[in-house]
Every structure is written in C-alpha cells, then in structure tokens.
Structure 1
Amino acid sequence: MPAFLLVATLAVIVWSGWSPTDRGDWLLENALVAVAIPLFVFGYRRLRFSSLSYVALFAFLCLHEVGAHYTYSLVPYPQWLSSMLDGPAGGSRNHYDRMLHFAYGFLVMPAVLELFARRAAPRGLWRWIFPVSFVMSHSMLYELVEWGAALLFGGDLGQAYLGTQGDVWDAQKDMLMATLGSIAATCLLATAHRRGLPAGPANESSER
C-alpha cells in the first residue's frame, strides 16, 4: 500500500474510532480491517496493484468506517435519498448497508481483476466471470461471518453488527447488491479494456 494512502487510512480509522455510537460494534466492524491492512502493507513488494485499485479500496474503507462510526443501521444521510430508496425498496429502513454492499462489489473489482490477471490469467469471457464469482463468494463468506458473530456475541451487540433491521432476507439482499456492484464495475472496466484505456486488467504480470 502506498505510504500516503496508509497514512490517510490510519487517519480515517482514528476519526471513525473517536466516540463511535457503539464501541463494541466498532471493534467488530474493524476486525477484518485490522487483518487486511497488514496484508496490503507487507505484501506491497510482492504484489502491487494499480493506483486505480488502491484509490478504489481506500474509498470503500472510508465508506465502511462511516458505517462503523455510526453503526450501519444509524448512519445519517439526506432525507431525499432516504425517500428515494424507501420507494423502490418498500418500507422504511436505513439503506446505508445496502449501498455499502453495492460499493464493495463495485470498488474491489479493479483489484480483483488485476489479481486474477496476474495469478490465474483466465482468457476470453472467463477473465470477467471468475472475478465476479470471486466477489460473490466473498460476499457469502462475509454474511456467514456476520451470522457467526451475532450468534457468538448475541444481544444488542450481535444485532447491531448483523444489522438486519427486521428484514429476514437481509443477507440475500446484501449478497445481491454486492453482485450487482461487481457486475457494474466489470462492465465499465471491460468497456475501458476494449477501448484500450489503462483501466482494464493487464494480461501480463506487473509485479515489481
């Protein structure tokens, strides 16, 4: 991870951890972050991603830290956006978690596409299908982690981390949003690749 992004990442985490709505939920939300950051830092020399990938991952982290600060079901956002989302979704709920699952699929795709291009190098249509499937599987694994944490901790903390807001299909909808986000990003990156823009995944390894 580039040094300036590492510093910015730590600054965002410090902000997020300053008087969060629920300290226990904040710690749970950042457990995977605490694992991911060292992997990116110590793996930087072995596998470097493009600037686009790092910026996209940083953008997702910022959005995630907002959710961790307020808890996902209590993040404030504009009333007009709430009304717009309540219409097609039905009912009245905080949709920040839905938006973040879409953002996850969308913003991690540049890095996932680069990872596959360098480590697995699928050809033809598979270079796009495999990365989308990878994001889908990660989304499913995360829902299992959420479920396990809710069972382990239970009570208000478990419910805050799970964030279903009474929706029995919450996990399925979250996975759908991540899938749609990854498909949207793939379509954009595939178009860029066909037009010869640098946003598409490289076929050759660019390890440095």
Structure 2
Amino acid sequence: MNIIPSKKTSTLLMAAIFITSWIKPIWPAEQALHSSLTVIAFFILWHHVKHNKTTDLDFFLIIIFLSTHSIAARWLYSNTPYDNWLQTMLGFSLNQHLGWTRNNFDRLVHFLYGFCFTPVIISHVANRFFLSAKKGFIIAITAIMVTSLWYEWFEWLIAITLSANDAEAYNGQQGDMWDAHKDMLVATIGSLVWAKAYLSPHSTRAVTAIPR
C-alpha cells in the first residue's frame, strides 16, 4: 500500500495548514513577511514540477518543510508554543528535559530544510545530469550549506532595514550571537542524515529513475 500522498493531496494539506495559520493572526504584518517566502517557494515548486518530473515523495518532503515554516511564521518562530503543546498532549516538557532556555522551533525548521531538500536535490541532479547517488549527495549537501548561508545574509539585509525590536522579532536570535551559525549547522546536519543512505558502499538505496 502506498502511504505517500499524491501531489494534489499534499497541496491540499499544505493549503489547510497555511489557511489555519492565518486565523486571527497575532502579528499580521510580521507573519506576512515570513509567509511571503512560503508563497514564493510554493509557486517555484509548482513551476519546477510543471517542467520536471518529480516523485510524490520528493514533493511531499518539500510540503512538510513549507507547512512547518507556515506554522513557525504564525508565531514568528521564537514564540511557537511547541512545549505547551507537548505538555498538553503528553504531559512532557521537552525544554525542561533537555535544559533548553530558548524556543528552538526555528532550529527544527532549519533542520527540516536540510533533511527535506537533500533527497529532492539528489533525485533531480542524478536524473537530469545522469550522476551517481554519491555525486548527487555531494552536490545536495553543498547546495544546502550555500543556500543556508545566502538565507542568513538575506535575514541580515532585512534586519538592517528594521528597528532593533523589529529586527529581533524577524530574526528570532533570542539573544544568541551565534544564532546564524547554529542555523546553518543544523541544516547541514539535516542533510547529513542521508549520508549513510547515499554514500555507503553497502547501501541499497538508489536514485529512482524518473521517466521523462
């Protein structure tokens, strides 16, 4: 039984999450700034799908990332009440258990960027340029690292146009001077999760050829 949703189902799922995130917005202007990236990314995704063969799994992975980003955008990342949700549902405090003193939902989004996009990039470059999975992985993790750097530059450029309070709200550093570095690191770790699957000489994972 195929448990991976179709592209249509994935799109409807993301639309439901995105619309729900806009019910009685707490910080509408700031959320709109964050959500604009989600909308742009989604249209780029559909343009890519229109001109390139994309598997349902690859599409779903990107939808997972964009949906999580939509949730984070509602609470400007730093205010996402994930710990309250866990305490309500499971009676468990992740922050207390791990000794966290900051809201780390932004780290999850950056991790998912690396995790969700790596197999997608590998599939695309391997099929388009007839590369091995190993070479595809090297290109993918390089792309994740470089684009993560570009995004941190983009955040900085946005921040210097805002007031100090607005810049902090947008960037969500929460007083951590190494925030950008850690964000890039967790994105890289998310990509590295796939290393064994694609780099091991004994790996049975192969890049699925996508019919053109």
Scaled by the length of structure 2, the TM-score of the pair is 0.83
**Aligned 8 A contact 1:117 1:201 in 2:** yes
SS in 2 for 1:94: coil
SS in 2 for 1:107: helix
What aligned pairs does 1:104-119 form with structure 2 within 5 A after superposition? 104-119=113-128
Cα shift readout 1:148-184 (whole Å, capped 9, x = no counterpart) = 1111223433211111000000000000000001001
SS in 2 for 1:194: coil
Count, aligned residues: 199
Cα shift readout 1:92-127 (whole Å, capped 9, x = no counterpart) = 111111122112111111211112212334447433
Task: State the one-letter code of the partner of 2:99.
Answer: D
Q: Residue 102 of structure 1 aligns with which residue?
A: 111
Which residue of the other structure, out of 87, 96, 115, is the alignment partner of 1:83? 96
Q: Runs of 5+ in structure 2 lacking a partner? A: 1-5, 84-91
Task: State the one-letter code of the partner of 1:43.
Answer: H
Q: Residue 16 of structure 1 aligns with which residue?
A: 21
CA separation in 2, counterparts of 1:85 and 1:187? 27
Which residue of the other structure, out of 191, 199, 207, is the alignment partner of 1:201? 207
What aligned pairs does 1:23-38 form with structure 2 within 5 A after superposition? 23-38=28-43
Task: State the one-letter code of the partner of 1:154.
Answer: S
Q: Please report the RMSD computed on the Cα atoms of aligned residues, expressed in angstroms.
A: 2.4
CA separation in 1, counterparts of 2:199 and 2:63? 22
Which residue of the other structure, out of 155, 162, 168, is the alignment partner of 1:153? 162
Q: Residue 61 of structure 1 aligns with which residue?
A: 66
Which residue of the other structure, out of 162, 174, 190, is the alignment partner of 2:183? 174
Determine what percentage of the aligned residue pairs are the same residue.
28
Which residue of the other structure, out of 132, 145, 149, is the alignment partner of 1:136? 145
Residue 25 of structure 1: how far off its partner (Å): 1.9
SS in 2 for 1:153: coil
Q: Residue 45 of structure 2 aligns with which residue?
A: 40
Q: Residue 4 of structure 1 aligns with which residue?
A: 9
Scaled by the length of structure 1, the TM-score of the pair is 0.85
Q: Residue 79 of structure 2 aligns with which residue?
A: 74
Task: State the one-letter code of the partner of 1:131.
Answer: A
